[in-house]
Amino acid sequence: MPQLRIAIPGAAGRMGRLLLCEILDNPSYALAGAGECPGHPDLGKDAGVLVGQASCGIMVSDDPATIVAQADVIIDFTAPCGAGDYAPLAVANRAAYVIGATALDADSQAAIDQAAQQIPVVQAANMSLGITVLTSLIEQCAAGLDDRFDIEVMELHHAAKQDAPSGTALALATAAAKGRGVDLDQAMLPPHSGRRGRRPKGGIGFAASRGGDVIGDHSLVFCGPGERVELTHRAHDRRIYAIGALKAAQWASKQPPGHYNMRDVLNLSMPRE
């Protein structure tokens, strides 16, 4: 079976390095290109040496066209300000595009949406296989538990995380809202603070905490009269995101053009009306 050729923008970043290690350790994959932004101190380094492995012959480049020229799939975890920049190049090279960045601006999202009309795009706020299963369970639970059950999303992340609620917390809440048949923007409650009176019926609340080096803990709780249901996921190793992204890459490389998510990758999507 031919190797899947994968390009990694942001190769020197935290997720980029994890992806490089997974690709270089697995004979099913071949590193097609590794990129970083202009002026980055790791430009010109061998990607294998960058992550403490043997030289692989792929140098970290700041030329996006060179990075993706030989790729079957591009996996993009770059920061929100750069996410989506590779979408036109993915289209030009007929490469599948897997994107895990969150908090995207409107222009980046528009570029991704446009690319999905011509190539397979897998986009997810969290590439963890466990989180993917969790969102499916949440949607099913929300469909079966009516608005007598209050919904609360709770998440804890490391002190350096900048966005709140996290992209994953929003994805879990979106699954709950979909199961309930409501719009999240309308159901989302403001943060709990001061004397706000009784909680509105049918709302979806959030509690975000930051501290230490916690990778990511997420819980969604259905609190009903006389009972509650708690669904929780805790990340212990960031490799789970790289492993999920590579599974998405394998799957996407065989799909027709379209905009997919990780539940599509795992065949967990509920029937679409």
Asked whether residue 14 carries a pLDDT value surpassing 50, the answer given is yes
Asked whether residue 272 carries a pLDDT value surpassing 50, the answer given is no
Phi and psi angles of residue 265, each rounded to the nearest 5 degrees, phi first: -60, -40
Question: What is the full DSSP assignment across the chain?
Answer: -PPEEEEETTTTSHHHHHHHHHHHH-TTEEEEEEE--TT-TTTTSBHHHHTTS---S-BEES-HHHHHTT-SEEEE---TTTTTTTHHHHHHTT-EEEE---S--HHHHHHHHHHTTTSEEEE-S---HHHHHHHHHHHHHHHHS-TTSEEEEEEEE-TT---SS-HHHHHHHHHHHHHHT--HHHHBPPPP-S---SPPTT-EEEEEEE-TT--EEEEEEEEETTEEEEEEEEES-THHHHHHHHHHHHHHTTSPSEEE-HHHHTT-PPPP-
Question: Average of pLDDT values for 54-65?
Answer: 95
Of 157, 218, 233, 247, which is the active-site residue?
Answer: 157
Question: Average of pLDDT values for 154-166?
Answer: 92
Phi and psi angles of residue 99, each rounded to the nearest 5 degrees, phi first: -130, 130
Contacts of 272 (CB under 8 A, 6+ apart): none
Question: Average of pLDDT values for 244-261?
Answer: 97
pLDDT of residue 224: 96
Of 40, 45, 161, 259, which is the active-site residue?
Answer: 161
What tokens appear for 176 in the block? 């709950």
Residue of 198, 197, 151 lying closest to 174 (CA atoms): 151
pLDDT (tens digit per residue) in 114-153:
999 999 999 998 999 999 999 999 999 999 999 999 999 9
What tokens appear for 32 in the block? 């097609």
What predicted TM-score, i.e. pTM, was given to this entire model?
0.87
* Contact of 138 with 176, CB cutoff 8 Å: yes
Annotated catalytic residue 161: yes
Beta partners for residue 219, in sequence order: 154, 232
pLDDT (tens digit per residue) in 167-218:
899 999 999 999 999 999 999 998 777 777 788 899 999 999 999 999 999 9
d(CA 210, CA 85): 29
* Contact of 71 with 93, CB cutoff 8 Å: yes
Question: Average of pLDDT values for 18-27?
Answer: 97
Strand 204-210 relative to strand 60-61, pairing = unpaired
Annotated catalytic residue 192: no
d(CA 183, CA 188): 9
Asked whether residue 271 carries a pLDDT value surpassing 60, the answer given is no
